[in-house]
């Protein structure tokens, strides 16, 4: 993998770059649709390419490990061949999913013991077997195993958790460097910066990661543990703290974030990569993002609105009307979920694409000020 910063915004930390992988290039800033189990909910890969214009998708190590399982993925030749997505894939480590299963997991230096949410069977993730699992999945970008503590964790727990994540990182790097890709394309490993909402812990975590980057010469860095309950302004402050320390020649990935406003604020602070389930989850609940604000297509006000869903949006937005999509939701037609999910994903890709164009033009901060407030409106 290579990363090149092509343009810097003169009034902020925003930058436009390009990541090159064996499965193709990714222009940044970029949003990655979440394909948890090897599929983006309600959206076929042809639509991801033609309507959404997705360049890279995300898969989840926890879910893929449980279903379809490593034997199937290895026999298939990895996730790219199994699901036929021929562009880059990033896998997270499963750490966040294990964090969300608080009642059925146990952490130790060895790793994380947990029970499957499917059948209750017992499993353990260690830094070593998570590296092996992601080798079998075959993602272009792999994540180190980490603990993602709640945003409101007290300082003592946050510090203890960070120590565990750092010890796991050293073991992840060792295992990654001892193993090779299985399917003929290169893979890279991203460390994850944790530290909750504590400035000194975030600084310590970022410096710890920077110290290890010499062992991972072609890689980027992920920022985890944000948008998990802390106030929004604290999240922005932690991004600034971390990005002040991380090198400028590595891509920065803010995990699991977030709203359109969150994304623009993070781009302004130097973040390059994003993922979030919000576009598809909100779409399935009839909430559509636009530059004018968020529309609830179940509302009666759209019943006789025969204007396009979004006249500036993707082809499917221009094909169908708000009234038709309102009807589909009221009739509980599955097509409603599909159209809304495509719209939201396409809007997120359009948003980061517009941000990139304004960074290149040198007027990102001015443009961002004109659109960010409207993004949070309900219309």
What phi and psi values does residue 192 have, to the nearest 5 degrees? -120, 130
What residues are annotated to the active site? 92, 275
Q: Among 33, 87, 57, which residue's Cα sits nearest to residue 345?
A: 33
> How far apart (Å, rounded) are the C-alpha atoms in residues 236 and 249?
21
How many whole angstroms separate alpha carbon 123 and alpha carbon 137? Answer: 18
Nearest to 273 by CA among 222, 210, 218: 222
Please, what is the angle between helix 155-178 and helix 199-212, to 10°? Answer: 10
Tell me the C-alpha distance between 142 and 197, whole Å: 25
115 close to 121: Cβ distance less than 8 angstroms: yes
Cα 92 to Cα 105: distance, rounded to the nearest angstrom: 18
Distances (CA, A) of 53 to 4, 121, 340, 341: 21, 38, 15, 13
* Rounded Cα–Cα distance for residues 353 and 373 (Å): 19
Cβ atoms of residues 272 and 17 within 8 Å = yes
Count of residues for the chain?
Answer: 379
Instruction: Specify the DSSP class assigned to residue 308.
Output: B
Residues in CB range of 191: below 8 A, 6 or more apart: 144, 169, 172, 173, 209, 212, 213, 216, 219, 221, 222
CB 10 within 8 A of CB 359: no
List C-alpha distances in Å: 36 to 58, 62, 68, 120, 242.
Answer: 7, 9, 12, 20, 27
Using CA atoms, how far apart are residues 269 and 13, in angstroms rounded to an integer? 5
Say if residue 258 is preceded by a cis peptide, omega within 30 of 0. Answer: yes
**Coil vs helix vs strand at 266:** helix
């Amino acid at each position: 993998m290579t990363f090149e910063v092509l343009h810097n915004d003169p009034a902020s930390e925003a930058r436009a770059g390009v990541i090159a992988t064996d499965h193709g290039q990714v222009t940044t800033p970029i949003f990655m649709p979440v394909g948890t189990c090897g599929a983006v909910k309600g959206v076929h890969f042809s639509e991801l390419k033609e309507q959404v214009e997705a360049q890279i998708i995300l898969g989840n190590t926890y879910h893929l490990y449980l279903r379809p399982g490593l034997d199937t993925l290895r026999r298939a030749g990895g996730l790219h061949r199994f699901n036929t997505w021929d562009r880059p894939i990033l896998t997270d480590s499963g750490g966040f999913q294990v964090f969300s299963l608080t009642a059925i997991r146990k952490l130790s230096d060895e790793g994380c013991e947990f029970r499957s949410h499917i059948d209750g069977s017992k499993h353990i993730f260690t830094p070593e077997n998570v590296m092996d699992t992601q080798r079998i999945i075959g993602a272009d970008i792999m994540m180190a195993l980490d603990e993602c503590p709640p945003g409101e964790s007290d300082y003592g727990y946050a510090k203890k958790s960070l120590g565990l994540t750092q010890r796991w990182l050293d073991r992840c790097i060792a295992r990654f460097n001892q193993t090779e890709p299985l399917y003929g394309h290169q893979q890279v490993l991203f460390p994850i910066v944790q530290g909750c909402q504590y400035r000194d812990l975030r600084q310590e975590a970022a410096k710890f990661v920077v110290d290890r980057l010499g062992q991972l010469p072609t890689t980027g860095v992920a920022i985890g543990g944000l948008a998990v309950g802390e106030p929004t302004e604290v999240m922005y402050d932690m991004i600034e703290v971390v990005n002040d320390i991380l090198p400028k020649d590595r891509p920065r990935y803010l995990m699991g974030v977030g709203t359109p406003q969150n994304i623009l604020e993070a781009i302004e602070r130097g973040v390059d990569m994003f993922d979030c389930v919000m576009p598809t989850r909100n779409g399935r609940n009839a909430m559509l993002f636009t530059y004018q604000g968020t529309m609830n297509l179940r509302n009666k006000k759209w019943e006789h609105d025969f204007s396009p869903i979004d006249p500036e949006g993707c082809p499917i937005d221009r094909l169908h009307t708000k009234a038709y999509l309102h009807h589909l939701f009221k009739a509980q037609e599955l097509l409603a979920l599909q159209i809304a999910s495509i719209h939201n994903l396409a809007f997120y890709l359009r948003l980061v694409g517009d941000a990139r164009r304004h960074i290149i033009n040198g007027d990102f901060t001015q443009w961002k000020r004109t659109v960010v407030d409207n993004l949070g409106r309900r219309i």
